Amino acid sequence: MGTEGRTALVTGASSGIGAATVRSLASAGFEVVAAARRLERFEELAREVGGRALRLDVTDPESVTQLAEELPDLDVLVNNAGGAVGFETVGNADEEHWRRMYETNVMGVMRVTKALMPALERSGDAYIVVVGSVSGVEVYPRGGGYTAAKHAAHAVSRTLRLELLGKPIRVTEIAPGLVETEFSLVRFEGDAEKAARVYEGTMPLTAEDVADAVAYVVTRPPHVDIDYVSIKPTEQATARDVYRR
């Protein structure tokens, strides 16, 4: 399928995997719409790739409605906005952290997908990508809030695949392992030392590695749906097993 004249929306485009996906989809020929809260962080990027930048908070229903009004035509939706906050055991869980993770990673995916479904239905050949995580199918100590949210996002993605069967809307979940982005800085609320330790002595994926996979998936012919992509660094076997020098 050619990409000319086709529009792709990437949420969480101000950083990491989202920003890299804006570039990879623009290189593949899509007209890209980049969206996130910190507009000033990606206006330049959108200009550079000949795309558009829109402010979006996936936790705010009004913001999502406004976004959908701006996009009557859409072919590809990349639900990437999300992340982790905190690193507590279940026994010591911070409710606000858990709520924020659920709001972005689960409710956000539902909200944006729901609002854009009419546009995707009009496309005639649409694609929904959910950037999940290895944490959508695995767990690790002190990761309960994040793994619960990503397990839920995994369930939403699988449900969409069933509900859209028979319609020309494909669904893929991309589930990365360790990717060096601002993810850990956000998780540890700005503590750069703690964030750096996550990647110490090992070689994580780059945001571009994941963005490459997104571009590959959405450029397959219309009869091909890559259901699920698990992508980890060579030095990571499971959510918990990471080789460190």
Ligand X SMILES: NC(=O)c1ccc[n+]([C@@H]2O[C@H](COP(=O)([O-])OP(=O)(O)OC[C@H]3O[C@@H](n4cnc5c(N)ncnc54)[C@H](OP(=O)(O)O)[C@@H]3O)[C@@H](O)[C@H]2O)c1
Beta carbon of residue 210, minimum distance to ligand X (angstroms, whole number):
7
Query: Under the rule (CB under 6 A), what is the footprint of ligand X?
Result: 11-18, 36-38, 41, 56-59, 80-83, 104, 131, 133, 176, 178-179, 181-183, 186, 207
Residue 15 vs 172, nearer CB to ligand X: 15
Beta carbon of residue 50, minimum distance to ligand X (angstroms, whole number):
20
Residue 186 vs 203, nearer CB to ligand X: 186
From the list 146, 199, 216, 243, the catalytic residue is: 146
> Contact, 84 vs 178, CB < 8 A?
no
**Residue 96 DSSP label:** H
Residue 125 vs 142, nearer CB to ligand X: 142
Residue 31 vs 173, nearer CB to ligand X: 173
C-alpha separations of 168 from 13, 88, 197, 198 in Å: 26, 42, 44, 40
Beta carbon of residue 209, minimum distance to ligand X (angstroms, whole number):
11
Is 102 one of the catalytic residues?
no
DSSP character string of 137-187 = T---TT-HHHHHHHHHHHHHHHHHHHHTTTSSEEEEEEEE--B-SSHHHHH
In angstroms, the CA 181 to CA 161 distance is 29
Beta carbon of residue 11, minimum distance to ligand X (angstroms, whole number):
6
Q: Which residues are catalytic?
A: 146
